[in-house]
Chain A
Amino acid sequence: MKPVFLLTDLFLFGLIVAGAFYIRFAMRSPQLRANWRLALQRPAAAVSAVFLGFFLLIALADSMHYRPAGAAETRSALDAVLAPIAVAQERTYSAPLAWLGFRKETFERDGKVVRDYPRLKFGGAHLKDPEAQWLGDVTRRKLAGLAGGLGAWLLVALAIVALVSKSAGERFSATLGRVARGQTQYPVRAMLITLAVLSVAIGVAAALSTGYHVFGTDKVGASVLVAALKSVRTALVIGALTTLVVLPLAVAFGVAAGYFRGWVDEVIQYVYTLLASIPDVLLIAAAVLLLQVKIDTNPDLFQTALERSDARLFFLCLILGITSFTGLCRLVRGETMKLRELEYIQAAHAFGVRSARVIIRHILPNVAPIVLISTVMQFSGFVLAEAVLSYVGVGVDPKSFSFGVMINTARLELSATPVIWWSLAAAFVFMFLIVLPANLFADAVRDAFDPRARLKSVADRKSPAPA
């Protein structure tokens, strides 16, 4: 077994490490700690954080790639977990939890050629008399999953309460009572309820998955659940990596333009007006088409199909970042322009402090809140944009897993009779479950870091200069 690091894996892990450093840094700064505490004290934000953390875990498991000894293809840890479901392929569409095929087929039964719904290869294959047993079997599995999920949750919940009671230095029962009444500093109760829901959902899905396809199968008979879970990584990578591209570009150019003014400002303004003037989709389409040409004409550039689609994903993040850094850049520029006129910065200049030092000591910490806010607010937009771009055909590799690809391949299925709804439903529900928490979390962060006054003054400045 040999570990394999794809380009986006490295960046994702790098981002986690950077996040850890940020948390350490924020814990030491009283101001930042107070702001984050304010944000996380909101139940909606805390619940969202639990959801996002869960999806992040899935994405991380799907980012640990390795190549089993002797095997030709690279797999991820998530693949290994999902392997039993992934190998249990059907021939074609099958409805969620079905034991019969979706369409009638002609086959031989008891020596006669009949036209009927065929038994599935995997779904309900263990049932001897499915018509009588199916309901009981499914119910039994659901209950078992429910019990397992609740059991696992109980262990985790008790551990969390124990941790809280230890850090608060009080008796376990007292903490338990406070959590149950919702009187803790952070909304522990809401978080535990969310965990319970997640845990039960996982338990039930896992229990059912041993005998059925929970979300049904797609056109080629592959499990929709597997596709949805593997799409989570693509969505998060797009959201996170694009942010990683936007941040340095926007901050560096914005601060430089606002601080140095003059020709630096002119050039930077020209560049970002130029980039903003090209409609985003067009620029992305142009860039992705060009990349596709490069890949197609140089087939030896990448060894495996996975690496190829990963390179395209990385490139998509890059170009998406380039098209979307202009807004934040303009904000940072305006904020820097305002800051550099403040007395203490003028005083620093008068004392002969160098520009680099002024920027690091005084400008950067003060533009950090707007940068943080617009970063978290942009995240969900990128996730939604991926689906649209993939639909247009300029998103991720159509052979890889993503919500956009799922929607694109399934978009004609609703017009089939009877309706094939499960692929689309799974894609939309999963996207919603990622984007809604991201939006709620972003709102809490925005309110906590209270930039209203700052953002507004910049917005006013966006009107054409009066003089």
Chain B
Amino acid sequence: MLAFLARRIAYGLAILAGINLVTFLLFFQVNSPDDMARLQLGGKRVTAQAIQQWKAERGYDRPLYFNEHASGTAKITDTVFFDSSLRMFAFDFGRADSGRDIASEVARRAGPSLALALPVFIAGLGLSITLALGLAFFRGTYLDFWGVTLLVAMMSISALFFIVAGQFVLARVLQLVPISGFDTGLDTWRFLMLPVVVSVIARLGPEARFYRTLFLEEIGKDYVRTARSKGLTEPAVLFRHVLRNALIPILTTSVAFIPLLFMGSLITESFFSIPGLGNYLIEAIGAQDFAIVRAMVFIGSVLYILGLILTDISYSWADPRIRLQ
């Protein structure tokens, strides 16, 4: 187990190193710091001096990979690559191009992101599974048919529509909750209510439909027939046997998404002006702040790899036949 973990983590680090290199090449080689400076300072009438100053303020005027003029280890450490790429492994993201410290900003925004993403994750999973199980129970009936039709229709609707419609109906016409905004403390739930409900509905279509097929597949297996032939009632078969077995793949694949919850949701956060990481990224894209985008790429990848490792662990935990070696 420990050896397996060590190997997975080593592989994860190798992937991270690759991502780091790719993003660095994208942002500094394909696109030179001069281009960035020109874009930030705006337009064509930027003097070479202004560009030089912009680069110097951010340390982009140094050599990319190897500093000949420095001495000792500074030959390596006093470079753009070391400063803006390698330091990320120590979660030192430096400053945004606008000047603010990225790490503290990320730490501050992870809370609101999580406050939105976690309830959506739990409620969405619970509701999808319940709905799917219900449809599987009534399989082959009109209820099942129209339920699936509704789910297909729902997955054909843009998530943006659910947000726009939800804001319009619940917040504007019925005035049940505020349209957007965020607050800490006890008032938080009033602001989170609408985004959570909307996000859960938006992901219900594809998820519930997918889980329904998983349940139906499980129902076709031999042990289910055995359970029925023992004389168990249909609910007993469904809830005691099918649900338990079908939950294994559902939960293990869901585990992969848990770390990514920290990243928040781009669209929902931006529509409801929740000051989370998704919003941070949208602002960074709008302001073309590459330092933030690079940092977010790194954080997102770390969380994704963490999710993969968690999935492997949960597999072996849920199914003793799988051994991690």
Contact = CB atoms under 8 A, between A and B. Distances in A.
A354 interface: no
A273 interface: yes
B9 interface: no
Nearest to A388: B267
Nearest to B324: A464
A297 interface: yes
A411 B297 CA distance: 28
Interface in B139-198: 152-153, 155-161, 164, 167-168, 172, 179
A293 B301 contact: no
Interface in B251-288: 260, 263, 266-267, 270-271, 281-282, 285-286, 288
Given A279-B304, A293-B31, A467-B325, A432 B282 contact: no
A274 B156 CA distance: 30
A373 interface: no
Interface string A16-41: 00000000000000000000000000
Given A464-B312, A466-B323, A279 B300 contact: yes
B270 to A, nearest CB: 8
B282 A393 contact: yes
Interface string A442-467: 01000000001000100000011011
Interface string A259-297: 000000000001001101111011101110110111011
Contacts of B217: 452, 456
B261 to A, nearest CB: 12
B305 A393 contact: no
Contacts of A456: 217
- Judged by DSSP, the binding face of B is helix
B10 interface: no
Contacts of A438: 156
Given A415-B179, A424-B164, A278 B285 contact: no
B18 A274 contact: yes
B243 to A, nearest CB: 19
Contacts of B70: none
- Which of under 10, 10 to 19, 20 to 34, or 35 or more describes the interface residues of B? 35 or more
Contacts of A278: 19, 22-23, 297, 300-301, 304
A89 interface: no
B163 to A, nearest CB: 9
B304 A277 contact: yes
Contacts of B305: 277
A34 B303 CA distance: 46
Contacts of B323: 466
Interface string B14-33: 11101100110011001100
A391 B293 CA distance: 17
Given A285-B293, A286-B297, A392-B282, 9 more contacts: A277-B15, A286-B293, A292-B288, A293-B288, A407-B158, A415-B179, A435-B158, A436-B156, A464-B316
9 interchain residue pairs of minimum CB distance: A436-B156, A279-B300, A435-B156, A277-B301, A274-B18, A277-B304, A428-B161, A282-B297, A290-B31
